[in-house]
Structures are given as C-alpha cells and as structure tokens.
Amino acid sequence: MTETLFLRSEDLAGLAEMSEYVDAVREGYRQRGPAEPRTKLVNAEPPGMLTSYIAILPETGAMGGYTYAAGFGDADVHFMTPLFDADSGEPLAMLDGASMNPFKTGATGAVGIDELARRDADVLAIVGSGAQARGQLRAAMEVRDFSTVNVYSPTKEHRESFASEMNGEVEASVGAVASSDAAIEGADVVVTATNASEPVFDGDVLEPGTHVTAMGQYDPEKRELDTTTVQRATYVPDLHARATSDAGSFIQAMEEGAVTEADVHGDLGAVLAGDVPGRQSDDEITVFDSGGTGIETVAAAYMLYEKAVDAGLGETFDIAPGSEALTGR
C-alpha cells in the first residue's frame, strides 16, 4: 500500500501567502513541462459537467491535475486535485481544490501582468466582482504598485461591495464605476473575470500600452474580448494549444479572419523561458489569455503539499499499487 496525504479545504485555507502562489506558478510555467488543455464533458440529462486537465512539472518532480464536477440541479461544483511523484509515479496527496482556486488562478494572472504589463503601470481596471476577481486583484498587487483600482460589474451592489471590501485589504484606492468603459478609461492594466458569454468592453477604447488579462471564459463559443482587442494586441495564452481549442476570444477572431494561429506570440511558458520576448515597447497592447491549465494547479498543489507536510496537516489513506491490486482475482 502507498500512503497518501488527504488535505481538506480547511487545511489549505490560509496555508500560503499570495506571494508564494505567484512564485510557485511562475516557476511551474517556466519549466515548460508536458501539459494538455482541459477536457470538458457536458451532459443534458441529467444535466451536469465534468472537466479535467493535467500537467507534469519535471524540475519540481510532480505531476497531477484538476478534476471538477458540477451538477446543474445542485448549482454547485466540487474540485479534486490528485498529486503524484513524477519519478516513481506514486501518489503524494489528494487535495480538496476549492479553496486554492482563486489564489492559483490569480497568481497566474499576476505572472502574466509581470511579464507583459508596463513596469510603471499604476491604474488597474477589473471587470467582474466575484471570488476570481478578488483573487486577481490580490495577486496583481504582488507584482505592481497600483495606486488606483476601478471595478465594474453589472450589479451595482456587487461592485460597491467589492470596492468596500478590497479597499480595506489592498494598498490602493478601489472604486466602483458605472460602466466597463469608465473602468478601462486611463487604465494601464485591465483584468476581465466574468461569466459573460459576449465581449465585456469595446477594444477600440484601449489606450496604447495597455495590458489585458482575460480569465473568465474557456469555451470556443464564449468570449470576454472582442475581435478588435485580439487583433490590436500581442496575444499570449497560458498554453499554446488552448488558443485553438477553448480560447473563445482568439478562436472567434480567427473565424472572422482577423488573425491566424501564426498571430499567437507564444505562450506564457515561452515568455518565461526567454524563447519569445515579453513586452517590447511602451505603446504595445498585450493580451494574456488565462483560461486555466494543469500547470498552475500542480505548481500550487505541490507548494501547498510541502507546506502541509511541514505543518503536520492532513490525514493519510492507503492506495494500492497496481503490482498488488491488479491480481485478476
């Protein structure tokens, strides 16, 4: 039997600082190990969705992925993260992945900002006001000293609540505004973190030098960014294969004839490894399409696993290796 650590969401909540997530995710993408875009299965009756993606971090020595399921009747979702040793293949841990989700996703957005936004970026616009938007803001503050944050979401109470909460948490002036255009006007960095199926702002309003991180959609039929934004920008996805599999903003821009796959500048790992340059001028518009991969999940999970082991958290259970269990009896 192989002893495996089980880590509950309450074990992981507050276990790591956002800066540690950012460092782990940056290192994970730099390694450029094997990774696959997500697979999503949707069922009509009974209604539900099953999603999974996987990655190997060769230098870290870990591999694993993310599987999450949603039963639409329950209107909820559950996340499970298996983590394995990349050398032996032995299971290291099973994590309840819910509590780390906004942190590892926010960390990925922050790494994109760090590589693609201007160094003097001072004004941040956020379109969206949910848990993911909060994670994006917390992480963005780790890589740039934003003094002003403008947030917009369609529901006035939600954006005002976001501004009130985050004003007390980050060292920036966070204010709610009445439209996406108002949020984006004068912004150096724009983050979209929504469940919208159609573009959430007009790409013509982006000023030269703006960086955009889009992280709210990962479906060929849905997009947060319009074709104008994609066409004007240096386009960097988190994983190159995603650009033509589930990155709806880029796929629909291709279908409209505005871009081709050759317009993918390179993915985040290529930028971090120095295979392609990041931002090349102060006037350049850049886009980081952060739909999610197993890379950030395995990187964050392994960081949390090591911290949990050091802190004596979690409980163990046994998993039978194939040499013992595949008996045929």
* pTM beyond 0.85, yes or no: yes
- pLDDT < 50 stretches in the chain: none
Per-residue confidence (pLDDT) for residue 216, from 0 to 100: 83
Does residue 284 sit in the same domain as residue 157?
A: yes
What angle in degrees, to the nearest 10, is found between the helix axes of 18-31 and 131-140? 80
d(CA 170, CA 128): 17
Summary mean pLDDT of the chain: 95
pLDDT score for 313: 98
Same domain, 281 and 180: yes
Predicted local confidence at residue 327, as pLDDT: 74
Same domain for 264 and 221, yes or no, is yes
Answer whether the bond into residue 46 is a cis peptide, omega within 30°.
yes
Residue 299: strand, helix, or coil: helix
Give the tens place of pLDDT for each residue, 20-79: 999 999 999 999 999 999 999 999 999 999 999 999 999 999 999 999 998 888 888 999
Instruction: Tell me, yes or no, whether 42 and 185 share the same domain.
Output: no
Q: How far apart are the first and last CA of the chain?
A: 18
Are 133 and 11 in a shared domain?
no
pLDDT of residue 140: 98
Identify any residues that bridge with 83 across adjacent strands, giving them in sequence order.
64, 93
Domain that holds residue 301: 2-101+294-325
What are the residues whose beta carbons fall under 8 Å from the beta carbon of 275, sequence distance 6 or more? Answer: 266
Structure-block tokens of residue 113: 């900002």
- Report the CATH number that the domain containing residue 227 is assigned in CATH: 3.40.50.720
Q: Is 8 exposed, middle or buried (0-12, 13-18, 19+ CB in 10 A)?
A: middle
Residue 107 resides in a domain: no
Q: Which stretch of DSSP H or E encloses residue 9? A: helix 9-12
Q: What is the pLDDT of residue 329?
A: 63
C-alpha distances (whole Å) from 76 to each of 70, 119, 218, 262, 301 are: 6, 39, 18, 38, 22
Rg over alpha carbons for the chain, rounded to the nearest Å, is: 20
Length of the chain: 329
Q: Where are the alpha helices (DSSP H) in 263-329?
A: 268-272, 294-311, 322-325
- pLDDT computed for residue 162 by the predictor: 96
